[in-house]
Amino acid sequence: MRPRRFISGNPLTGRIRVPGDKSISHRSLMFGALAVGESRVTGLLEGEDVIATADALRAMGAKIERRQNADAVEWVIHGVGVGGLQQPENAVDMGNSGTAVRLLMGLVASHPVEVRFVGDASLSSRPMGRVITPLSETGAQFEASEGGRLPLTLRGICPAIPITYRLPVASAQVKSAVLLAGLNTAGITKVIEPVPTRDHTERMLKGFGADLQVEEVDGERIISLRGEAELSPQIIDVPGDPSSAAFFVVAALIVPGSEITIENVGLNPTRAGLFEVLRKMGGQIVEENRREVGGEPVADLRIRHSPLKGITVDPAIVPSMVDEFPALFVAAAFAEGTTIATGLEELRVKESDRLAVMAEALAHIGANVEEQGDGITITGTAGEYLPGAEGSIKTHLDHRIAMSMAIAGLGSQSGVEIDDTSPIGTSFPDFEQLLDQLTSAD
């Protein structure tokens, strides 16, 4: 356990660069491992989740090296080719990474190998049924713990059956798992998305040379992938993770006198919903030096302290900011008026039940919060600091809860103590260091 109290102090000032995008980092390693030849990646997020992905791919035959060059760290991946994944000698430990385990389940499903996936207490509490269901249709077999949870044994099949799968809920992880199973499956694998989700998988698979088409029919996205793909190695520069930037954006908006710049932030439209919502609330978030890197839009974000107003969040935007709602809840607690967000059922099956945990945590430090079945209502302080609390906040091993409540502490009178900051390392190892840097008086 690594508790820490976060309390109001200096405004946030300066320039920072957040770690590489976690979603793109996972996929860079996976697709590089399935390409034939050498891929090179800079800007990779070196959090515990991504390292778990690298270790899992090594266990299945890929050669992955971390090289410290004079000006940057470079990850070099020698792939085994689509269909070339090998039987790991031991169980594959995915730590806390739900994204990695679900995507790897997709990869393994169409390979003739048997893999036992294990994880930490948080990951082992999360249901995998929404991935097991479509992958079972391809012919893969599963032996899961009660409730479709880890530990879980997957027996892949080759040749697998190409499927057409309509997503019952908006989930980029499920979509990606089905498409990745299709890479080593003869024929056309299709995913139908009634509601668009983040599209890193589609963009990157195209970049690696997969035969993938996206069309819109009657308001739905249909993604078609031709299997038995041949992926070509790539050179990738991973943009900064907007989910990591979110905490500093909110902190600068709520702490008076703050003005910061966050460099090189990925602004994929399927990921940037939070910034759109915060602007509607009155947040000053300016994009500078907008450019495109590896098919992904990128810009530097300049953020100034701003008086915020509560709004009703359009449920249609939820998939583009599903991981950022804990940070939004903090912003709403400082806004003038009431913020209402619904359609958030997905938050209940993350690293923790983020609706319940954030509602309890914010109420504990004095916020006016009401939790509903699929959403939350928060009446803000109109910029006044929250009281804070003496006891510690239970983060339930959830990195986003820990970071969100740390930011809330910067806008509190008596501070907010986080019961354990160590889970932050799964996605953002330098979070506390960068926060201290921005709040330093120097």
User: Is 149 marked as a binding-site residue?
Assistant: no
Look at residues 279, 395, 261, 392 and name the one whose alpha carbon lies nearest to residue 328. 279
Q: Report whether 61 contacts 80 (CB < 8 A).
A: yes
User: Is 67 marked as a binding-site residue?
Assistant: no
User: Is 98 marked as a binding-site residue?
Assistant: yes
User: Is 86 marked as a binding-site residue?
Assistant: no
For residue 289, give the amino acid letter.
N
**Tokens, residue 369:** 């919060």
Whether 218 is catalytic is no
User: Is 427 marked as a binding-site residue?
Assistant: no
Q: Report whether 263 contacts 19 (CB < 8 A).
A: no
Catalytic residue among 120, 323, 398, 420: 323
User: Is 22 marked as a binding-site residue?
Assistant: yes
- 8-state DSSP, 238: P
User: Is 171 marked as a binding-site residue?
Assistant: yes
Angle at 57 between CA 121 and CA 117, to 5 degrees: 30
User: Is 323 marked as a binding-site residue?
Assistant: yes
What does each C-alpha distance from 5 to 8, 349, 401, 409, 421 come to in angstroms? 10, 27, 14, 8, 10
User: Is 39 marked as a binding-site residue?
Assistant: no
Those residues whose C-beta lies under 8 Å from the C-beta of residue 50, and which sit 6 or more positions away, are 22, 25, 26, 29, 44, 97, 100
User: Is 116 marked as a binding-site residue?
Assistant: no
User: Is 425 marked as a binding-site residue?
Assistant: no
Tell me how crowded residue 98 is: count the other CB atoms within 10 A of its CB. 20
Q: How many residues does the chain have?
A: 442
Q: How many CA atoms lie within 13 A of 346 on its CB side?
A: 21
Q: Report whether 138 contacts 184 (CB < 8 A).
A: no
Whole-angstrom distance, CA of residue 201 vs CA of residue 173? 9
Burial class (CB in 10 A: 0-12, 13-18, 19+), 70: exposed
What does each C-alpha distance from 29 to 98, 112, 202, 296, 385 come to in angstroms? 16, 21, 15, 17, 43
Those residues whose C-beta lies under 8 Å from the C-beta of residue 220, and which sit 6 or more positions away, are 192, 193, 194
Q: Report the binding-site residues for 3-phosphoshikimate.
A: 22-23, 27, 171, 173, 323, 350
Q: Report the binding-site residues.
A: 22-23, 27, 98, 126, 171, 173, 323, 350, 354, 400
Q: Report the binding-site residues for phosphoenolpyruvate.
A: 22, 98, 126, 173, 354, 400
Q: Which positions are catalytic? A: 323
